[in-house]
Amino acid sequence: MAEYSRRTVLAAGGALAALGALGEPAHGRPAMEWTWAPSSSVAKVGGAADPRWVWDAEADPISAALLDRGDVPNVNKLLWNWVRNDQPLPSGLPADLRDFMENARKLPSWADRAKLEAAAEFNKARGFYLNLLNGVGGGMLSTAIPKEALSVYYSKGGADMEDRVAKTSILGFAVGSLNAYRPDGNCIVNAVKTRLVHAAVRHLLPQSPHWKGDVPISQTDMLVTWHTLPTYAMRKLREWKVPLTAAESEAYLHVWQVTAHLLGIRDEYIPADWAAAEAQSDQVLPPNMGPTREGVELTDILLGQLAEQTSPGSVSRPLVNALARYLVGDQVADWDRIPRDPIWTPAITAAWPTLVKFREGLVSKPLVPEVAWALDEAARQYILFYLTKGRETKIDIPTINRPS
């Protein structure tokens, strides 16, 4: 880590430790009480059990058994070339895994092909905003979720954030691609693989000497992260006044509902509509967000990568910091210890709305301030970088926690 990073982290760690905030729910807020009307979910029934104490009853025993039997390296090898939604599973998989996967890869009965197609078109048309929001925005929000930051930090991928981010972006780009849920797409494949990865993490992390607390990645935890993706993105699109039709926003929700199902979120907790999603987000996010030393370190690594990977001089770290701060807001940016930049921060706040208007054809080019093009370029380079990185790797099941 660069000297700058170490200082940032140490300073943050000290301040947070003084607050007693490390790894705890934000500012000692009382644990939430679970209230959820069954009619708010896609299942329309159930959902009474507090999702904090529900994990993934189907996937968890499978990944645990694979790990205990030492099957994972061979399974990863076999699944490496399982890449298309319509592709039969490779032969040679253990029978319990095969049975699980055959079931897990099925779309839910409530999946609507027409809506999935509409979502794909929407993702294509709005890819610029959505990749930025789900990538940079979602990434920065996730480091301000203590349980997620700790899970990521102390699991295998925590030691190699570049690989980890590349792998995570595989699913993000899969959801946003035109053929996401078509036979030649790969969203089902990557969601099912991710479900197995999460199940493996539930088995592995409690064995880590650094891990304190309950089994990670509960249904609540997954819902929290889910809301930092579609719910957060939709709020931002509305805030930025990006023109949206009702059919587009419904389709966008739908593709994420189906993805939630394939990731192992139970139908009884998946919000049925945007009103339910907003309400659930407001219920589960605040008590599950806050600062951690690990989250600060991960943020620093992520933003450093983003600044470094682009051609020298074109996207500077202060610009990346300011863009991230603009996307997640001051509260989360302060938790993540993203520095305020005296020049870029006000410049982005002023320029972004005009850039959006220009992209939407509402203002002409001469009215767009120069700084907006730097932002536009930063966002493009970010998207390109992770698209390329994501193509170099595949999601596989970890066998160890963070090695150091």
Closest contact distance (angstroms) between CB of 148 and ligand HEM is 4
d(CA 371, CA 352): 9
192 near ligand HEM, rule: CB under 6 A: no
- In the bound state with ligand HEM, the residue whose beta carbon lies nearer, of 130 and 395, is 395
Cα end-to-end span (Å), the chain = 14
Of 198, 266, 293, 389, the one binding ligand HEM (CB under 6 A) is: 198
Closest CA to 215 of 227, 232, 223, 203: 203
Closest contact distance (angstroms) between CB of 194 and ligand HEM is 4
Closest contact distance (angstroms) between CB of 355 and ligand HEM is 28
| Interface characters, 132-171, with ligand HEM (x: CB under 6 A) | ---------------xx--xx--xxx------x--xx--x
d(CA 389, CA 258): 25
The 3-state DSSP class for residue 401 equals strand
Of 194, 281, 299, 345, the one binding ligand HEM (CB under 6 A) is: 194
Of 221, 268, 300, 336, the one binding ligand HEM (CB under 6 A) is: 221
Q: Do 17 and 292 touch, CB atoms closer than 8 A?
A: no
Q: Do 255 and 123 touch, CB atoms closer than 8 A?
A: yes
Closest contact distance (angstroms) between CB of 216 and ligand HEM is 5
Can you give 155-223 as a three-state secondary structure string? EHHHHCHHHHHHHHHHHHHHHHCCCCCCCCCCHHHHHHHHHHHHHHHHHHHHHCCCCCCCCCCCHHHHH
Q: How many CA atoms lie within 13 A of 192 on its CB side?
A: 24
| Interface characters, 254-283, with ligand HEM (x: CB under 6 A) | ---------x--------------------
d(CA 309, CA 64): 37
201 near ligand HEM, rule: CB under 6 A: yes
Counting residues that bind ligand HEM (by CB under 6 A) gives 24
- In the bound state with ligand HEM, the residue whose beta carbon lies nearer, of 198 and 266, is 198
d(CA 87, CA 183): 8
Q: Binding to ligand HEM (CB under 6 A): which residues in 336-395?
A: 395
Residues constituting the chain? 404
Closest contact distance (angstroms) between CB of 82 and ligand HEM is 15
Closest contact distance (angstroms) between CB of 272 and ligand HEM is 17
217 near ligand HEM, rule: CB under 6 A: yes
Helices (H), 105-160: 113-125, 127-132, 138-142, 146-154
Q: Which two tokens stand for residue 167?
A: 């792998």
Burial of 31 (0-12, 13-18, 19+ CB in 10 A): exposed
- In the bound state with ligand HEM, the residue whose beta carbon lies nearer, of 123 and 321, is 123
Amino acid at 49: A
- In the bound state with ligand HEM, the residue whose beta carbon lies nearer, of 189 and 348, is 189
Of 137, 146, 216, 291, the one binding ligand HEM (CB under 6 A) is: 216
- In the bound state with ligand HEM, the residue whose beta carbon lies nearer, of 150 and 322, is 150
Closest contact distance (angstroms) between CB of 76 and ligand HEM is 11
- In the bound state with ligand HEM, the residue whose beta carbon lies nearer, of 194 and 257, is 194
- Binding-site ranges for ligand HEM (CB under 6 A): 147-148, 151-152, 155-157, 164, 167-168, 171, 194, 197-198, 201, 216-217, 221-222, 225-226, 263, 395, 398
